[in-house]
């Protein structure tokens, strides 16, 4: 704001202030009352609130003080009374500004000028008006009583109510208009541009509505306060209610301020229904009570409407944003090459993307319960899959999900394909399972390529055994022949070379055997049968103990918990446990006695087995990669291996519909956890037979 514009506004405000003083003073000057000074206090409050950001802030208080003192001197008040009146107005305005800027930072001081936006914002304004009135009374009443020697109770109440009402309305109007102008200037760059935009946005019907309300207000208040004998004023409240419900909040402020001024002025000029009451002080008191009631009703309704409109606008924006995000998500899901389906807790299909029909050939309806038969799901070896074995049927709120590769064969597909079904749970905020998400991925080409490579590796491994046997046989024969030759440096070098050939042949045989084992776990048919895991673990542990004792190495300690029987292929399960135990024994630090814990738990139709050890552990970041083929976590550290053992374990578990994971053992070492289908036919018998706490397998006699 420029200095010139600020001074121009000062002139306009002081003119309005003097006009209110003149209008309120003239009719009752003969009565010697002093309450006529207080209606103009509202204009003074609006003045200094609107000018709080002026370049020369000292000009406005000085002009206000001079105007108050001057007008009182002009009408014949003593100098002491005139100065005291100026002091009273100054204290009131200063208290109003200070209180307005503290309890509600958003409506005063140097804080952002947001104006009044909800009914709660009336409280800081009301507190400021009450505080300013009390401050003025604390200074004014004793001073005026000392200066004039009079004190009238009705006059006191009138002064307080007039000051409170006018400061509330005019001060609030200044805040609201200032906030509106600042917002429009920030949005459109200038007030002229803002005004043009407002005029363009205002419809003709809206303009006629404003004109009609203004005309009705002029007619209603003009007839009520202009004609003699009219005593009913409560119908005028309908104008306040309608304005608050339909028109802008600034209009309600202006309407209330004008009504307050017009009501008090007409009453002072002995016109209107309130002029027929008792003393002039009582007349003005009742007039301001009516104006304050009308203003509070209108402002409360208007601010409630603004708050409701703001909340509605925010909700509409959030709804629009959510709709845009939903549309974007739908576009992303529908454009996916992988199938995505959502099923409820009863197994009914809730939604799916187009890729589901492309990959599976068909999409089942709500009346189809057996998804396996409907889609033609089979295991990769061609055996049928029961519906309860599918991943989405096995998902629970406590698990991370299930995955399975299945063969899809039905008349709606041009050819059979292999898909990977991955089901993950969708839970409610309270943690209960609500729905499950099934991701369907075509792995036909990937599986065929992997099968071809694995078959090739199996063939190559098998064909390498014959030449490898020949190499080992001739190496042994040459070594024996060299034993009959007298010692010579060349003979010693030959023995060393043959020893290296034997070690290389042994490593190669181990690799070939692992390749053949991996091919077996991939291609061999599974023959599920009840398997006593406790017996299998005991046999594997006994074999490892015997091997360690024969090689004069540290004898491992085994602690086996209660293991529930499983329904699986006995040969593959034995190989699975043997590989895990072999790793636990092998990957132990030098000088440390291996200790292996095998524990289990059964929930529903799934058995979870944990094999933990006190070994050297798995390097960080490799807990998932160790199950990849030919991956070795401890290369170059003196631990032999081909990197196929854990890949064989993973393949074995997955072929049985389970999962296997690796994690760090809290006590040091590694913890492998895998799941297998439970054998429900012998479960009760097994629990009774193996009701033993964690028992060690090694005995002192065997160690000796």
pLDDT for residue 514 is more than 70: no
Residues contacting 229, CB < 8 A, separation 6+: none
Reported as a pLDDT band with limits 50, 70 and 90, residue 666 is confident
* Residue 423 · residue 440 · CB < 8 Å: no
Ranges 288-302, 366-380, 492-506: which has the least confidence: 492-506
Q: Which two tokens stand for residue 128?
A: 């400021």
Residue closest to 585 by CA, chosen among 637, 642, 547, 633: 547
Task: Report how far residue 283's alpha carbon sits from residue 281's, in angstroms, rounded to the nearest whole number.
Answer: 5
Please determine, for residue 394, whether its predicted confidence score (pLDDT) is greater than 80: no
Tell me the backbone φ, ψ of residue 598, rounded to 5 degrees: -120, 115
pLDDT value, residue 275 = 77
How confident is the model at residue 26, as a pLDDT? Answer: 47
* pLDDT value at residue 323: 92
Q: What is the structure's pLDDT at 112?
A: 35
Query: E strands within 354-430?
Result: 377-378, 402-408, 417-427
pLDDT range class, residue 675, cuts 50, 70, 90: very high
Looking at per-residue confidence, does 145 or 238 come out higher?
238
3-state SS, one letter per residue, for 470-520: HHHHHHHHHHHHHCCCCCCHHHHHHHHHHHHHHHHHHHHHHHHHHHHHHHH
pLDDT of res. 525: 62
Q: Is 576 a residue whose pLDDT tops 90?
A: no
**Alpha carbon distances (Å) from 340 to 298, 435, 687:** 56, 13, 41
103 or 615, which is more confident?
A: 615
Residue 568 banded pLDDT, cuts 50, 70, 90: confident
In which band, very low, low, confident or very high, does the pLDDT at 86 lie, cut at 50, 70 and 90?
confident
Name the least confident of 249-253, 399-403, 540-544.
399-403
Place of tokens 């001057």: 70
Share of the chain above pLDDT 70, in %: 80
* Tokens 């307080």 found at: 160
The confidence band for 172, taking pLDDT boundaries of 50, 70 and 90, is confident
- Percent helix, strand, coil in the chain, to 5, is 60, 10, 25
Mean of the pLDDT values across residues 564-579? 86
> What mean pLDDT do residues 378-393 have?
82
Measured between alpha carbons, how far is 25 from 39 in angstroms, rounded to an integer? 10
Q: Rg for the chain (alpha carbons), in Å?
A: 47
- Nearest CA to 403 out of 654, 651, 609 is that of 654
When pLDDT is cut at 50, 70 and 90, the band that residue 607 belongs to is very high
Whether residue 293 has pLDDT greater than 60: yes
Q: What percent of the chain has pLDDT over 90?
A: 11
When pLDDT is averaged across residues 535-543 and rounded to a whole number, the result is: 87
pLDDT at 188: 81
Output phi, psi for 92, to 5 deg. Answer: -60, -45
Mean pLDDT of 238-249: 90
Q: Do 595 and 580 contact (CB within 8 A), yes or no? A: no
Query: What count of residues does the chain have?
Result: 704
- The reported pLDDT for the residue numbered 62 is 83
Confidence class for position 610, pLDDT limits 50, 70, 90: very high
Decide: helix, strand or coil at residue 566: strand
- pLDDT at res. 367: 77
Neighbours of 527 (CB within 10 A): 10
DSSP state of 117: -
**Residue 85: partners with Cβ closer than 8 Å, 6 or more residues away:** 34, 37, 68, 69, 72, 77, 140
Average pLDDT, the chain: 78
Say which residues have a Cβ less than 8 Å from residue 50's Cβ, sequence separation at least 6.
9, 13, 174, 177, 178
Q: What tokens does 317 get? A: 């924006």
**144: which residues sit within 8 A by CB, 6+ positions away?**
34, 81, 84, 151
As a whole number of angstroms, the distance between CA 227 and CA 276 comes to 12
DSSP annotation of 625 reads G
Residue 72, CB-side half-sphere exposure with 13 Å CA sphere: 27
| Cβ–Cβ under 8 Å, residues 160 and 46 | no
pLDDT digits (tens, 9 = 90+) for 107-118: 444 333 567 888
Confidence of residue 703 (pLDDT cuts 50, 70, 90): very low
Q: Pick the range with the lowest mean pLDDT from 35-49, 121-135, 420-434.
A: 35-49
Q: What is the mean pLDDT of residues 497-518?
A: 70
pLDDT at residue 30 in the model = 42
pLDDT of residue 152: 54
């Amino acid at each position: 704001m420029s200095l010139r514009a600020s001074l121009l506004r000062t002139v306009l405000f002081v003119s309005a202030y003097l006009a209110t003083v003149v209008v309120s003073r003239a009719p009752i000057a003969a009565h010697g009352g002093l309450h006529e000074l207080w209606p103009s206090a509202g204009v003074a409050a609006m003045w200094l609130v609107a000018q709080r950001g002026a370049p020369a802030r000292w000009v406005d208080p000085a002009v206000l003080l001079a105007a108050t003192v001057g007008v009182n001197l002009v009408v014949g008040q003593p100098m002491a009374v005139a100065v005291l009146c100026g002091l009273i107005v100054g204290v009131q305005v200063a208290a109003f500004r200070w209180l307005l800027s503290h309890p509600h930072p958003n409506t005063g001081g140097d804080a952002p000028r947001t104006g009044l936006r909800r009914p709660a914002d009336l409280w800081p304004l009301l507190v400021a008006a009450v505080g300013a009135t009390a401050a003025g009374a604390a200074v004014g009443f004793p001073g005026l009583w000392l200066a004039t020697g009079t004190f009238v109770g009705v006059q006191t109440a009138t002064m307080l109510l007039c000051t409170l009402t006018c400061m509330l309305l005019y001060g609030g109007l200044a805040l609201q208009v200032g906030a509106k102008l600042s917002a429009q200037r920030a949005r459109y760059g200038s007030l002229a541009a803002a005004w043009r935009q407002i005029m363009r946005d205002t419809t003709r019907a809206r303009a006629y509505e404003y004109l009609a309300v203004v005309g009705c207000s002029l007619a209603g208040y003009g007839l009520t306060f202009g004609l003699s004998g009219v005593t009913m004023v409560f119908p005028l409240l309908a104008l306040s209610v309608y304005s608050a419900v339909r028109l802008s909040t600034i209009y309600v402020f202006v309407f209330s301020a004008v009504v307050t001024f017009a009501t008090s002025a007409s009453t002072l000029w002995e016109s209107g229904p309130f002029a027929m009451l008792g003393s002039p002080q009582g007349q003005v008191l009742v007039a301001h009570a009516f104006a304050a009631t009308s203003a509070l009703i209108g402002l409360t309704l208007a601010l409630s409407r603004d708050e409701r409109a703001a909340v509605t606008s925010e909700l509409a924006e959030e709804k629009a944003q959510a709709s845009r995000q939903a549309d974007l998500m739908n576009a992303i899901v529908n454009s996916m090459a992988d199938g995505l389906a959502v099923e409820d807790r009863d197994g009914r299909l809730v939604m799916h993307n187009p890729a589901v029909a492309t990959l599976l050939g068909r999409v089942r309806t709500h009346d189809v319960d057996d998804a396996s038969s409907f889609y033609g799901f089979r295991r990769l070896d061609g055996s049928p899959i029961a519906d309860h074995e599918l991943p989405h049927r096995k998902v629970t709120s406590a698990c991370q999900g299930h995955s399975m590769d299945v063969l899809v064969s039905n008349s709606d597909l041009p050819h059979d394909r292999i898909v990977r079904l991955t089901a993950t749970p969708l839970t409610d905020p309270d943690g209960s399972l609500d729905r499950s998400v099934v991701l369907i991925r075509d792995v036909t080409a990937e599986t065929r390529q992997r099968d071809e490579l694995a078959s090739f590796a199996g063939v190559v491994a098998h064909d390498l055994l014959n030449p490898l046997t020949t190499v080992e046989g001739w190496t042994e024969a040459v070594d024996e022949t060299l034993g009959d030759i007298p010692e010579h440096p060349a003979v010693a070098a030959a023995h060393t070379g043959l020893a290296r050939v034997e070690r290389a042949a042994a490593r190669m045989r181990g690799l070939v055997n692992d390749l053949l084992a991996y091919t077996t776990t991939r291609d061999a048919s599974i023959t599920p049968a009840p398997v006593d895991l406790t017996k299998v673990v005991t046999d594997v542990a006994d074999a490892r103990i015997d091997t360690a004792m024969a090689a004069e190495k540290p004898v491992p300690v085994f602690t086996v918990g209660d293991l529930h029987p499983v329904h699986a292929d006995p040969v593959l399960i034995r190989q699975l446990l043997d590989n895990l135990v072999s790793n636990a024994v092998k990957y132990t630090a030098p000088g440390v006695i291996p200790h292996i814990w095998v524990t289990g738990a059964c929930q529903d139709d799934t058995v979870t087995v944990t094999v933990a050890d006190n070994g050297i552990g798995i390097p960080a970041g490799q807990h998932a990669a160790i199950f990849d083929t030919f991956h070795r976590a401890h290369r170059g550290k003196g631990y032999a291996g081909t990197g196929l053992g854990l890949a064989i374990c993973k393949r074995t578990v997955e072929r049985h519909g389970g999962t296997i994971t690796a994690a760090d053992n809290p006590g040091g070492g590694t913890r492998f956890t895998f799941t297998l289908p439970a054998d429900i036919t012998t479960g009760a018998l097994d629990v009774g037979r193996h009701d033993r706490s964690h028992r060690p397998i090694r005995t002192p006699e065997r160690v000796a």
